[in-house]
Structure 1
Amino acid sequence: MRTGNIPFRFDMSDLLSRAKQRFGKHVGEVTLNLPFVSFAVSPKSKERKVAQELVIRLADRRVLSAWECCDNCIDDALNSLREIRGILVDKQVELADLRDGPLYLLVEAMTLGIRQFLTFEELLNSGNEAPPHPRFGDFHRPSDVRQAYFDGLEVLRGHISRCLGQVAAIGGIDAPKDGLIVNYQGDWQIAAYQAPALTAEK
């Protein structure tokens, strides 16, 4: 069951600040939208190619759209997220000569989101004061921990989907820019992000 709660917030302050500094005054052929900031870029041919590959490899990953129901599903999803993070890191290596480019920034946004979600998930299971919870069938996490995980994963899916929409734009792919994954499209879920200083000071 999904409650729509936001159990944690992404901290992208440094990344968003760098995006504004690098691209804030650029005039480009592709407009990208991130939480709190939009900018125009002119992708290199290599960035277009890598962006297309990323969309192909990630668009149909089950973990980005599946409906978990038990702890075994959660464990499988966590493993899949780690695999996706591995793919993204490989692409960062491939883009090492374009570290200041827009695609590297978007890939970094996705890896950062996954890392912060995994940290959140670890914290959910680190409470030493929690009473022992006996395993029953496929359920070995307390129900409140399981629910917080489900809600957190929904937030992460929305984040990755909208990032992939921007990646698709760089790749020149005809796909919704507001989210590549069905059911995770629309405006950025601003409440799921810590406001960077450049916004908070206004």
Structure 2
Amino acid sequence: MTHDVAHVQEFFGARAAGWDARFPGDDPAFAVGVAALGLRTGDVVLDAGCGTGRALPVLRAAVGSSGKVIRADITREMLEAGARTGRGRAGTLLLADVARLPLRPESLDAVFAAGLFGHLRQPAENLREMARVVRPGGRLALFHVIGRAALAARQGRPLTKNDLLEETNVRPLLRSSGWQLASYADEDAYFLALAVRQS
């Protein structure tokens, strides 16, 4: 897929209205991904590339009423589709690119990035930007509701060792971007690379 901003916005903008209906059974997988972040009551978490906000209920429950969920997406139609479901009331919405987050340095406890990684134009730079806004010791979850093999099959492409989310590729990429890979799971039911922000 092309990683050009306009192309990403066009692709997801055209699909926003029916996005949730396409993936009705994903809630349990989101619960697994969010649980791995180890969020605590009062934490501040960014849902990066949040789309319609399908992870929002689980993120909101994890940080409680004293915590904060910030939802950022580059596609206005996705944010609007999520708002129509009522999800917009449970988190702060940002129309923003993860390449330039309008957030203060070290202002977050964690970042949840579901289905985002394959759409990043500059993965190393984007990971560095996410590291910039997370406190040392904070966490990042690179997540997908299906594993890499299932995702490649869905997209009609072969799964190769050159895939950036292959463990031997993502580990040094994270390290060079301010993160340390803490755990890696590539199951049929989900993909999760959990990283910790280095000081």
Q: Same fold (TM over 0.5)?
A: no
* Larger RCO (CA within 8 A; separation ≥ 6): 1
User: Comparing both structures, which one devotes a greater share of its residues to strand?
Assistant: 2
Largest Rg, 1 or 2:
1
